[in-house]
Amino acid sequence: MSKYRTAYVNARLVDPASGLDAPGGLLAEDGKIADFGTRLFADGAPGDAETVDCGGHVLAPGLVDMRVQLRDPGQEHMEDIESAGHAAGAGGVTTIVCLPNTDPVIDNVAVLEFVARRAREVKLAKIHCYAAITRGFAGRELTEFGLLGEAGAVAFTDAEVTVADAKTLQRALSYASTFGHLIAQHPEEPSLAADGQMNSGEIASRLGLAGIPPVAEVIMIERDLRLVEKTGSRYHAAHVSTAASVEAIRQAKRRGLDVTCDTAPHYFALNEIAVGDYRTFAKVRPPLRDETDREAVVEGLKDGTIDAIASDHSPHDQDSKRLPFAQAAFGIIGLETLLPLTLELYHNKHLKLPEALALLTCRPAERLGLTAGRLAKGAPADLVLIDTDRPWKIDEEAFRSKSKNSPFDGRPVQGHALRTVVDGRAIFSVGQEKQKKKAG
């Protein structure tokens, strides 16, 4: 039986997991990586393979986005699995990990299997799911961690709802540890954040908006860390945004706790000034913080305290965002801007390229136990070809996502996915996009 083969030649191979960063080539065969290396194709590519000339650009593992809201099932007018898959492809993302805040909530095996089945049918980016910690995010009754884990849940979180009751979280951590599961928390002390609209401080006061103080985040993290220490469990803090939170996690790691965290591009690429005069596209939770906090997030990425960068993709329709600031929904989209915004850390010399890509590939994959995010023989051929220097301007009208709620519209950036490959199949390529535009 003949094999379908693709030879990627003239590439700069970058595999953050192994430290590889060198010119070379890669051979994909029937959806798997058959071989790769610096001397591969020294005598030319095999004649029976499709040849992709990478033009000296970076060929890396496909990106793993560990925090995405799909809106499917339940709110498909904002996003669905297919539109998210196309957005992911355009952003170089081959693996999506979706939050359980669908409708109905992913708190039982049936909903989990529905999302998995739809992802297989659509055949774009791979989709894995978190399951809820508590039924209906009500913060009381725990879900069936064992059954959900067996069905494919990669970790447990109540998405944008904080598990505020200490006894409930302690039970969840203990229960999860018996299975080796990870608990991911949206860290925000609810009573301090109640009715808040943006970061508390001078700008919030000037705009007359209720503030969410930075201490609301670190109080919850510090409480959770005490419970992690007591239970010996695995814990992940989502989208950290403050200097105090980064420092608390840094100290916890030094004490040997099994603790990780992620942040999102808007917490190192923007600060609270982006809210401007009530720009609802800059309304996120946790809110954009002040410049000191933004700089601390960058430092946390540089010293390894922050383990991953996730898009925190949160699509909303215009009816949810084009409202007075206090009534507008929280959240922005990010699948298509995750890569170029992260590359700003490289272009600004905060991180080396393999370090920046590690935050988007092997490090989130390892924490979630996914066989993704690295170049390895026999592994799925999930790849992204990146022109790291290509200048362009973010244009919300060009987004593949159904929603357009991005604060980065018009921002000049450098770096773009040229080709995104899942199981050896190109789900996005710049050449195909140009052909489609001409045909249209």
pLDDT of residue 439: 44
| Full set of structural domains in the chain with CATH | 5-59+381-439 (2.30.40.10), 62-368 (3.20.20.140)
Nearest CA among 308, 320, 213 for reference residue 259: 308
pLDDT of residue 432: 63
Rounded CA gap, 335 and 98, in Å?
12
Q: How far lies 105's CA from each of 70, 157, 389, in Å?
A: 12, 11, 41
Q: How far is residue 379 CA from its own chain's centroid?
A: 21
pLDDT of residue 392: 98
Answer yes or no: 277 catalytic: no
Active-site hit among 80, 307, 312, 387: 312
Angle (CA) 223-162-203 rounded to 5° is 90
Per-residue pLDDT of the chain (440 residues; tens, 9 = 90+): 457 899 999 999 999 999 999 999 999 999 999 999 999 998 888 989 999 999 999 999 999 999 999 999 999 999 999 999 999 999 999 999 999 999 999 999 999 999 999 999 999 999 999 999 999 999 999 999 999 999 999 999 999 999 999 999 999 999 999 999 999 999 999 999 999 999 999 999 999 999 999 999 999 999 999 999 999 999 999 999 999 999 999 999 999 999 999 999 999 999 999 999 999 999 999 999 999 999 999 999 999 999 999 999 999 999 999 999 999 999 999 999 999 999 999 999 999 999 999 999 999 999 999 999 999 999 999 999 999 999 999 999 999 999 999 999 999 999 999 999 999 999 999 976 554 444 44
Evaluated on CA atoms 59, 60, 64, 65, the torsion sign reads: negative
- Its pTM stands at 0.96
Q: How far lies 432's CA from each of 150, 228, 383, 424, 437, in Å?
A: 39, 48, 17, 16, 9
Amino acid found at 39 = R
Q: Which two tokens stand for residue 199?
A: 């970061």
Helical spans, DSSP H, in 133-290: 145-150, 166-179, 190-193, 202-207, 215-231, 243-254, 265-269
